[in-house]
């Protein structure tokens, strides 16, 4: 008996709680549909809403919810009221009595359940309870109790769950069925417990009642179901390295007269026309919100050239070549620029054409980093297999298609950011001399990179391909206590000299080799750059450094120490407006050079860094004037500058 008593007590508590919750659900469901008007002008029960008898004349100019709904329910034809549906309740007082009855039952059940639960915890807290049997028996008893209430009460509970049909006046047109279906459907969505049933008619109603349902949008009543955190996490698959099929083309518009003229030109004629237009570009009279004139060499020429590129340029991408060397971009690390350009170029529809006869440029879509990973033998220091591979690929293209031999490769271009990019081209003479090369390792002293023909490619470090713009931005000038900062490996000839003269010499100049662990625990590499006025960007083994673009990302004025290095996008950008160039021989005077810069000039340079930042950003979906378009424009500009020589070669041949 001692073992059964606590279980029985707990079982009764569960039954009472279940009954209380059932009754509370009924009361809550119906209570939400009851409206008592402060200024009633009618007496109707509209879909469970009670509007009492008017006690006086309505106030002028004021209509409450109840009066509005009653007026909407009033039929236009008085004869239609005889056909309206009667409410189940014979009067408003009867409906109110039902509501009070259910509320009292709910309160009684809840009170008894609380008392029994307290006694159960006080007396039998230490007894072991068979929970499976308790809940099974409790479910049966709760269901029995609910059924018992339905038979004991004066009015059956199923009345509360019946959908009340909508009355349609006899004078309404037949084409109103659409709104009726919409109203009825939305009413069923609103009340999830509603089931279909026949109308309930009271035999002797005191008033003619017209029932109406307010229209509510279905989308607002059924909230969308979101994914769980686990499901969202599982669905995140890194497919950034895969070339996504291009988006659907934009809606075609009627071409303008200029577009029709451009389409009528051959590719060579279009290039001649574009070159003349750029040479006679009109001055930009109005400020372009997307372009900041002080950072450009000639903003008028750039703007006209860019507009013509958008209007004219078509690029053909060779489909030859197997993965992973071809058509598989690598989007992470310091060599990510070549991968991002390949990805965005192959996904593009504005500039890419499938008809090579319409192309102005031809793209060789290989990844220098993937080529090195696939063919280079570690520690062999032999790049000959890589250069032979590219030589054979170029010969295959020249033998299979007529386009290379037409110009000897002058209208072909490649994009390579790896340090070995220039050295793998030397096995093929035309590939080295004629092709437009976009290279991160743009060293003019080696004879491979040709200024004004080739393009200096920005070297960008992408740590998270899904968020290439992560951590972009910096602190205000007042929050930059450091004069200069550098941390990196001791590559090349410049960095050891920098540390020799400036390591641990001044408190406001933080010059390190690899950033020490004791320092990085207090302030990370990125925080150092965001806290410095100037960021030192010395060359490593090669002239370029990812710190140049990193400093722009973190709004720190770059100090570039690299001789024989044409800066990225320098064909259009004036780097003297937002950077400082220091010759390698002037490293001992570095602090003197930086301190001599007036604060007014520094503030101007720092503002210019912020304004030029947008031109060095990779966007998953390219936007105007971002890095993808700026690189493509530099290649386009190079093609225009070579057009005169190209025409001479073609006419003589």
User: How far apart are the C-alpha atoms of 330 and 36, rounded to whole Å?
Assistant: 68
What is the helix (H) or strand (E) element at residue 125, kind and residue range? none
Q: Which two tokens stand for residue 259?
A: 């577009």
The residue extents of the domains of the chain are 4-221, 257-461+631-652, 477-616
Q: Mean pLDDT, to the nearest integer, of 463-474?
A: 92
Lowest mean pLDDT among 65-74, 400-409, 508-517, 538-547: 65-74
In a 3-state reduction of DSSP, which class is residue 267? helix
Torsion (CA) 236, 240, 244, 247 in degrees, nearest 10: 80
The Cα angle at residue 494 between residues 489 and 500, in degrees rounded to 5: 80
User: How far apart are the C-alpha atoms of 642 and 636, rounded to whole Å?
Assistant: 10
The CATH number of 477-616, from 3.20.20.210, 2.120.10.30, 3.40.50.2000, 3.20.20.80, is 3.40.50.2000
Per-range mean pLDDT, top range of 49-58, 135-144, 236-245, 558-567: 558-567
Q: Mean pLDDT, to the nearest integer, of 428-453?
A: 96
Contact 537, 545 (CB under 8 A): yes
Cβ-based neighbour number of residue 601 at 10 Å:
10
Cβ-based neighbour number of residue 443 at 10 Å:
21
Lowest mean pLDDT among 23-32, 256-265, 328-337: 23-32
Cβ-based neighbour number of residue 13 at 10 Å:
20
Tell me: pLDDT of 630 over 90: yes
Looking at the chain, the whole-number percentage of residues with pLDDT higher than 90 is 56
Q: Which of 190, 187, 185, 188 is nearest to 221 (CA)?
A: 190
User: How far apart are the C-alpha atoms of 125 and 530, rounded to whole Å?
Assistant: 61
- The dihedrals phi and psi of 417, each to the nearest 5 degrees, come to -110, -15
The conformational region for residue 48 under phi > 0 = left, psi -120 to 50 = alpha, else beta, is left
User: What is the pLDDT of the chain when averaged over all its residues?
Assistant: 77
| Model pLDDT for residues 80-124, shown as the tens digit of each residue | 444 443 444 444 455 556 556 656 666 766 777 677 667 666 665
Q: Which two tokens stand for residue 197?
A: 């049933």
Contacts of 396 (CB under 8 A, 6+ apart): 320
Maximum Cα interatomic distance, the chain, rounded to a whole number of Å: 115
Lowest mean pLDDT among 251-265, 312-326, 568-582: 251-265
Using CA of residue 430, residue 431, residue 435, residue 437, what is the dihedral sign? negative
Q: Which of 612, 550, 547, 542 is nearest to 576 (CA)?
A: 612
Per-range mean pLDDT, top range of 168-177, 190-199, 373-382, 583-592: 583-592
- CA 120 and chain centroid, separation: 55
Q: Which two tokens stand for residue 431?
A: 């590939």
Q: Mean pLDDT, to the nearest integer, of 417-434?
A: 96
Specify the pLDDT at position 650.
45
DSSP classification of residue 296 = B
Contact 522, 498 (CB under 8 A): no
Tell me: pLDDT of 130 over 90: no
More confident residue, 243 or 290: 290
| Model pLDDT for residues 71-86, shown as the tens digit of each residue | 444 444 444 444 443 4
DSSP classification of residue 426 = T
Give the burial string for 618-637 (b: 16+ CB within 10 Å, else e): beeebeebbbbbbbbbbbbb
Please state the length of the chain. Answer: 653
Do the bridges between strand 45-46 and strand 49-50 make them parallel or antiparallel, or are there none, so unpaired? antiparallel
User: How far apart are the C-alpha atoms of 136 and 117, rounded to whole Å?
Assistant: 18
Tell me: pLDDT of 198 over 60: no
| Model pLDDT for residues 26-44, shown as the tens digit of each residue | 544 444 444 443 344 444 4
């Amino acid at each position: 008996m001692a073992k059964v008593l606590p279980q029985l007590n707990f079982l009764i508590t569960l039954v009472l709680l279940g009954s209380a919750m059932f009754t509370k659900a009924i009361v809550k469901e119906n209570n939400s549909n009851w409206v008592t008007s402060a200024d009633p002008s009618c007496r109707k029960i509209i879909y469970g809403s009670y509007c009492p008898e008017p006690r006086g004349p309505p106030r002028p100019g004021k209509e409450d919810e109840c009066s509005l709904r009653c007026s909407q329910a009033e039929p236009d034809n008085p004869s239609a009221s005889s056909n309206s549906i009667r409410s189940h309740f014979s009067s408003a007082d009867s409906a109110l009595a039902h509501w009070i009855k259910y509320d009292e039952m709910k309160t009684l059940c809840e009170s008894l359940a609380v008392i029994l639960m307290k006694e159960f915890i006080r007396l039998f807290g230490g007894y072991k309870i068979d929970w499976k049997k308790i809940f099974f028996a409790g479910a049966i008893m709760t269901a029995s109790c609910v059924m018992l209430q339905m038979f004991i009460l004066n009015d059956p509970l199923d009345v509360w769950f019946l959908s009340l049909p909508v009355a349609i006046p006899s004078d309404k047109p037949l084409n109103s069925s659409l709104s009726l279906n919409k109203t009825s459907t939305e009413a069923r969505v609103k009340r999830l417990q509603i089931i279909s049933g026949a109308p309930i008619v009271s035999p002797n109603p005191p008033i003619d009642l017209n029932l109406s349902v307010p229209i509510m949008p279905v989308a607002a009543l059924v909230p969308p179901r979101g994914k769980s955190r686990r499901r969202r996490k599982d669905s995140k698959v890194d497919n950034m390295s895969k070339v996504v099929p291009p988006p659907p083309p934009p809606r075609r518009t009627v071409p303008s007269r200029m577009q029709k003229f451009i389409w009528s030109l051959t590719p060579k004629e279009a290039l001649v026309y574009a070159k003349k237009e750029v040479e006679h570009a009109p001055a930009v009279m109005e400020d372009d919100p997307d372009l900041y004139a002080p950072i450009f060499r000639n903003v008028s020429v750039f703007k006209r050239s860019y507009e013509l590129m958008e209007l004219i340029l078509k690029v053909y991408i060779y489909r030859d070549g197997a993965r992973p060397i071809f058509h598989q971009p690598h989007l992470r690390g310091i060599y990510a620029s070549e991968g991002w350009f390949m990805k965005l170029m192959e996904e593009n529809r504005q500039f890419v054409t499938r008809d090579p006869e319409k192309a102005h440029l031809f793209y060789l879509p290989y990844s220098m980093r993937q080529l090195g990973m696939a063919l280079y033998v570690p520690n062999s220091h032999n790049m000959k297999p890589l250069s032979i591979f590219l030589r054979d690929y170029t010969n295959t293209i020249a033998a299979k298609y007529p386009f290379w031999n037409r110009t000897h490769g002058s209208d072909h271009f490649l994009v390579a950011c790896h340090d070995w990019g220039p050295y793998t081209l030397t096995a093929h003479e035309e590939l080295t001399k004629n092709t437009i090369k976009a290279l991160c390792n743009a060293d003019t002293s080696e004879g491979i990179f040709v200024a004004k023909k080739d393009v200096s490619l920005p070297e960008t470090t992408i740590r998270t391909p899904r968020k290439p713009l992560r951590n972009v931005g910096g602190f205000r000038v007042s929050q930059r206590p450091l004069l200069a900062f550098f941390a990196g490996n001791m590559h090349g000839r410049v960095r050891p000299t920098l540390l020799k003269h400036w390591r641990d010499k001044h408190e406001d100049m933080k010059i390190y080799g690899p950033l020490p662990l004791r320092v990085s625990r207090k302030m990370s590499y990125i925080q150092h750059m965001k806290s410095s006025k100037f960021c030192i960007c010395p060359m490593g083994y090669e002239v370029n450094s990812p710190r140049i673009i990193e400093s722009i990302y973190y709004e720190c004025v770059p100090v570039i120490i690299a001789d024989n290095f044409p800066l990225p996008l320098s064909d259009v950008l004036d780097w003297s407006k937002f950077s400082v160039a220091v010759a390698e021989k002037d490293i001992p005077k570095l602090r003197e050079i930086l301190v001599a810069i007036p604060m007014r000039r520094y503030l101007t340079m720092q503002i210019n860094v912020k304004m030029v930042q947008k031109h060095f950003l990779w966007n998953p979906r390219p936007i105007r004037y971002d890095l993808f378009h700026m690189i493509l424009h530099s290649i386009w500009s190079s093609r225009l500058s070579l057009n005169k020589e190209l025409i001479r070669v073609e006419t003589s041949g």
